[in-house]
Amino acid sequence: MTDTDQTQQTNTYSEGNFARVPTEVTAFDLEVIGEIPAALEGRYLRNGPNPIVPTDPATSHWFVGTGMVHGVRLRGGRAEWYRNRWVRGHDVVEALGEPAVPGPSRGLDFSPNTSVWGLGGTTWAFVEAGALPVELGYELDTVCRNDFFGTLQTGFTAHPKIDPATGEMHAICYAWQDLFDHVEHVVIGTDGRVRTTVDVPLPGMSMIHDMSLTENFAVIYDLPVTVDLDLALSGEASFPFRWDPDYGARVGLLPREGTADEIIWCDVGLCYVFHPLNAYEDGDGQVVIDLCRYDKMFDRDKLGPAGDAKPTLDRWTVDPGSRTVSEERVDERFHEFPQVRADRTGRRHRYGYTVGIGEGLIPGANYKIDYGTGVAAFHDHGPGRGSGEAVFVPDPDGGAEDDGWLMSYIYDENTDNSELVILDARDLSRSPVARVPLPQRVPYGFHGNWVPDDAVPPSPAG
C-alpha cells in the first residue's frame, strides 16, 4: 500500500469524488449482494486520472492526472479480488522510488489515464496526444511501454474501434510533439502490429478525442478545440487546448482503405464531441452517427469539461453527395459515456447505453436508448448515487441485441464509497443483478472494458 497524500487547496476537479485516492489497495473475496452471473469470468477494468502527488489547483487540468486502473475479477459467481494500480510513468516511479519503465518513450513518458483494453492476449492502458500505450499484467502491474512491437510511428489514441467482422483495430491519432498539421488513420491487424498508416492533413492541431467506424469509412471529427500555444507557454493551465470557433467544425469520411485526397469533408454546426455512440451506413448512401454533443468546450473552464456546456444526445445524418449534415436531438436530458454492443460497431444498432449527467458533470442514472421506439429507459441508483461509464457485456446464451448486462462502478456520496454494480440490460427497471462493495471509492474517471479471461488469460499466479 502506498500513501503520497499532502494537504493542498483544491479546484472542482480535486474535490468530492473527483479527488484522488492516495493508496494502492488489494482486497480478496469481496462481498456479493445478489448473484453474479456464472457466464461472467474475467475482469472489469476502468482507467482515470489520479495524480501520484497533489497538483497545483490553480493550473491542474483534470485530463492530465496520472493514470490509475481499478479492477475487479469475477469467476464462478465470486468477486475474487479488487485492485487499483497507478499506470507507471516517470512521475510514478520517481515518487515511489521504483525502476524506470522499460520500452520506447518517443520523448513523452506520460502515464496513460483514459482507457484500458484487453487486446491480443494483452492488457493495454491508452491515452491520446502522443504517449505510447502501456502494457499491463493481469494483476494490473505495469510491464512496459509498447509501440505495438515497433510498428507504431507516433503516439496512439484512447478510443480505437474494432471492426467486428475483421477483428482489426482502427484509430485516429494525433501527437502533441510532432503532428501539428495532420492526424493519422492507423489500422492494427489481428497480430497486434500496425498494418497501414495514412496521414490526413488538417488546417491546425485539433483535439480529436474519438472516432467512428462504418463498413466503408473511418469517421474523423475535426472540431473547434485546438492547441493554444499562448496558453501552454503562460502556465495558466496544464492542458493547452481551448475553444476556437474561428477554426470551424466538420466531419470527415475517410475510405477505410483510401488516401487523404479521397476524404469527404462535411461542415457541421459549431460544437464539440468527445464520444460518439456508434455510426453506420443506412443503405441510401448516408452515414448515421449517434453522439453526445456540447455547444462548446474549454472556453471559460480551463481546467476541465464541466464549466461550459452539458452534453446532449444527438443524431447526425451525413450526406456524402451534398456534403451536408442534418442534426436532430434524440433526448432532451443530458447524456455522456455512450456505449453500444461491441458487435454492432459500424453496423445499424437498435440500442445504446449512456449515463445521465447533472450539474458539474456529476453522473447519475444509467440509460438505455431504444432507437426503434424512441423510449429512453433508465435505472436510478438512488439519492447521491451515480454511475460511471457502463460497459455492455453480452450474454453468451442470448440472441437479442440487448441480451446481456451493464457493468459499472457506482459512487455513493452518502457513504463516500463505491461498488461494482451489474444490471440486466434487458430491463433497467429491475433491481441490480449483483452489487460488489469495494474497499475504497473509485474516483470519477474515464473509460474501461470488460475483459473476459478467454481474451487475456490470467497469469499462473492469478
- The tens digit of pLDDT for each residue in 17-64 reads 999 999 999 999 999 999 999 999 999 999 999 999 988 888 899 999
Quote the Cα angle for 220-224-226, to 5°: 95
The pLDDT of residue 222 is above 50 = yes
Q: How far is CA 323 from CA 252, 317, 402, in A?
A: 10, 11, 34
Q: What is the pLDDT of residues 332-358, one digit of tens each?
A: 999 999 999 999 999 999 999 999 999
When pLDDT is averaged across residues 233-241 and rounded to a whole number, the result is 81
Predicted confidence (pLDDT) per residue in 139-151, tens digit: 999 999 999 999 9
Task: Please state the rounded mean pLDDT for residues 367-385.
Answer: 97
Could you tell me which residue, 371 or 236, shows the higher pLDDT?
Answer: 371
Q: What is the pLDDT of residue 177?
A: 64
236 pLDDT above the threshold of 80: no
Query: How high is the mean pLDDT of the chain?
Result: 94
Other C-beta atoms closer than 10 Å to the C-beta of 203 total 11
Please give the average per-residue pLDDT across 182-205, as a whole number. 94
Give the pLDDT confidence of 84-116 residue by residue, as tens digits. 999 999 999 999 999 999 999 877 788 999 999
Q: How confident is the model at residue 461 (pLDDT cuts 50, 70, 90)?
A: low
CA dihedral 192, 396, 48, 293 (to 10 degrees): 100
The CATH architecture annotation of domain 12-452 reads: 7 Propeller (2.130)
Domain boundaries, the chain: 12-452
Query: What is the SS3 assignment for 149?
Result: coil
- DSSP assignment of 285-349: S-EEEEEEEBS--SSS-SS-SSSS---EEEEEEEETTTTEEEEEEEEEEEEEEEE--GGGTTS--
Confidence band for 7, pLDDT divided at 50, 70 and 90: very low
pLDDT of 226 over the 70 cut: yes
> Once rounded to an integer, what is the mean pLDDT over residues 410-416?
97
The residues, any chain, with a CB within 8 Å of residue 382's CB and separated by 6 or more, are: none
Mean pLDDT of 68-82: 98
Please give the Cα distance from 310 to 306 (Å, whole number): 7
Kindly tell me the burial class for residue 229, based on how many C-beta atoms sit within 10 Å of its own C-beta (0-12, 13-18, 19 or more).
exposed
Whether pLDDT at 436 is above 90: yes
pLDDT in the model for residue 448: 94
What is the model's pLDDT at position 5? 41
Position 462 confidence tier, pLDDT thresholds 50, 70, 90: low
Q: Where is pLDDT greater, at 389 or 234? A: 389
